[in-house]
Structure 1
């Protein structure tokens, strides 16, 4: 939320709060006195433009997130005359969990969520402990007959690491959303890896070749879930490290439109539980890659430390 929007909201809230200190409905802004509610926090407060006082506009909640994202790829090629063949198989897996804090409030008739302090320039970031693993494995074998000599190739990639963090973002929900657009959540993961890519070439004429370098995908598309970048420090990561999950019906398996978010997420009536599981079709690399997303978000009692005056 932008700062000017928070200031405007603070002015709108300050007048009725000063006029009458009566309990408010659950769908309205929380009471101004944080001492009366353990859910209110400085992190979810704006600043009154006239007095400079903090005005809480949202509740501070904690959520527990679990993610399992698996991608499989298999491609085989055989020339009709038997002079060339190729087989490529890859597997990637990101799995883990995290606990995050969020400010939540009612606006435009919907619950809104913000996974960072309202005044980011003045307050420290929310704690977001995470644990989990990431892995990439691939094997490509090839055979070709060239000028009477048979050449065989073998490429392998193997990398692994620890899940460093999970981030969440829920775009603003309001009455201007087009019909059919449901609630979506953007899930990002920070999962650095280390490993290598190797190439071995052998020919019946006795020629041998070996290469080794930082891990990379065996499939060239930048849209591939296997696409990897490596930084100067030697740390590698998947280039595409975010997912968009939406509620509503799943994409049809026969639907060839690409670039669609992963549908099929369900949200409980009180929005305390968000879940999604199974295959994701309609992504940018169908039908070559098969992607599976198991995701859950649950509101849990607050245990993460953060200023709560």
Structure 2
């Protein structure tokens, strides 16, 4: 018969072995993103409940999950123009780049995961928290020459993102697979100002210039609106990213960027490369890189 001390040692060793096995046990690769955090999300699922119209009682509804987003949107213009003795050279570029996380409610309909971007507080619909970080800039120069005159315009403005989020996702029902789109919304306050220098016989003058005048195309990704002399916002602050094939060449159809790919488990959505169907093609080139992962929630419902 073992002594009491031997029994204690055996019990302790057995406990350590069990703990090691628990730590090294493989995670379930197919765990649902709304419950994979050991039930963490289940405490929040009331935010995705439905409300009984007669009793006001909360009924089981969607599952809370989180979207983690990476986004980069670049545009560029380079070109020379000549008309008589007037020459113009333009080099300009803009970029919006950032990451974001936001809570969403997941529902299963038609055999697909569906997304809803409002929850409930027990009394009615409410927005769900989101956080974003990133930067945006617009910069470039234009040089115009005519006889003995010269106009040199320079712009360099930038600032942090104030908003980056998914505003909506098309409901999927198995029909029209190329009609599936993600609506992306973004905004940034761009600080700084542009400058115009005018040189001619007997004249040398510098003046402030609104950055939006650099390109002069309201459809451009670089089109900007000014609020005072030192705060500017890009006019394009939302577009859809859709499934289907991107056209092979510039067409200026105004079509959304295509090429969105969705994983078989609906948890990873990606799109990268050129966007050629925009209305400023072919003078302006654009690339859109986007990744969205559906993951267990880590944001708190109060946005912290």
TM-score normalised to structure 1 length:
0.78
Deviation at 1:120, TM superposition (A): 10
Unaligned runs of 5+ in 1: 1-29
CA contact (8 A) 1:39 1:60 kept: no
Structure 1 runs of 4+ with >6 Å offset: none
Counterpart for residue 167 of structure 1: 165
Counterpart for residue 269 of structure 1: 264
Structure 1: distance between partners of 2:162 and 2:227:
16
RMSD: 2.6
CA contact (8 A) 1:278 1:293 kept: yes
Mapped pair 1:100 → 2:106: no
Please point out which of 198, 203, 206 is paired with 1:207. 203
Counterpart for residue 8 of structure 1: none
The change in CA–CA distance for 1:195 and 1:202 in structure 2 (over 3 A counts) is same
Counterpart for residue 195 of structure 1: 192
Please point out which of 135, 138, 147 is paired with 1:136. 138
Deviation at 1:206, TM superposition (A): 1.8
For the residue of structure 1 that corresponds to 2:193, the secondary structure is strand
Please point out which of 42, 63, 81 is paired with 1:59. 63
Counterpart for residue 92 of structure 2: 90
Unaligned runs of 5+ in 2: 1-33
CA contact (8 A) 1:278 1:294 kept: yes
Q: Deviations over 1:258-304 (max 9, x none)?
A: 11011111100111000111110101111011010111001223211
Deviation at 1:50, TM superposition (A): 2.4
The change in CA–CA distance for 1:70 and 1:195 in structure 2 (over 3 A counts) is same
For the residue of structure 1 that corresponds to 2:290, the secondary structure is strand
Deviation at 1:42, TM superposition (A): 2.3
For the residue of structure 2 that corresponds to 1:280, the secondary structure is coil
TM-score normalised to structure 2 length:
0.79
Mapped pair 1:283 → 2:281: no
Aligned residues, how many?
266
Mapped pair 1:181 → 2:178: yes
